[in-house]
Chains A and B, each alone.
Chain A
């Protein structure tokens, strides 16, 4: 019972992190703050994908074959976690970093043109046509 409570606690706090990062992306005015919230959203989504592949058993090992024999293989299958979500998440982490680099460059360029990173002020500057 207490194990189920702890596991539910983990899942619920992860969901709360997702919700608060979506709030940050939508509501906060600064572009840099939106970038920080976007990375938190990416990280928690990746963590959720990893949690789907986890197994709640005691001798649990990472998906790397320890001994290259047939007995080792049967022991490995009995206690290894699911490797498929991990393989999908690795590329997602690095690609997310590259996309964040692109967003950061765009923020710097917007600051050079408009002189601010506040979304409302950027809208005003664009409406006035000062650029």
Chain B
């Protein structure tokens, strides 16, 4: 078995798990009885998407696409902090 077929096989085993996990996280975002559940699910979705982007960059064979992962991992953090601060103080700037 040559290397490209091995890579293709590994990725074909891994992709359905990731896509199913995205759908399940989306169901939790939609269902979430409180806002905190939804935010937690958005958080997990973004971090896992960062991992998925890095793996897809190997599949697409393009180095320029891998930069987005680092940005996505940094930015999902901001949403959590803002919602938490809103619930803590009701006024974000203090």
Contacts and interface: CB of A to CB of B under 8 A. Distances in A.
Contacts of A59: 61
Interface residues of B, number: 5
Interface string A52-66: 000000010110101
Interface SS of A by simple majority = loop
Interface residues of A, number: 5
Interface SS of B by simple majority = helix
A81 B64 CA distance: 14
Interface in A53-103: 59, 61-62, 64, 66
B17 interface: no
B29 to A, nearest CB: 16
Interface in B55-70: 60-62, 64-65
A92 to B, nearest CB: 19
Contacts of B60: 61
A124 to B, nearest CB: 28
Contacts of B61: 59, 61
A59 B62 CA distance: 10
A66 B63 CA distance: 9
Nearest to A61: B62
Nearest to B60: A61
A131 B64 CA distance: 55
A79 to B, nearest CB: 11
A61 B65 CA distance: 9
Contacts of A62: 62, 64-65
Interface of B: 60-62, 64-65
Given A61-B61, A61-B62, A64-B64, 6 more contacts: A59-B61, A61-B60, A62-B62, A62-B64, A62-B65, A66-B62
Interface of A: 59, 61-62, 64, 66
Which 6 residue pairs across A and B have the least CB separation, nearest first?
A64-B64, A61-B62, A62-B64, A62-B62, A62-B65, A61-B60
7 contacts: A59-B61, A61-B60, A61-B61, A61-B62, A62-B62, A64-B64, A66-B62
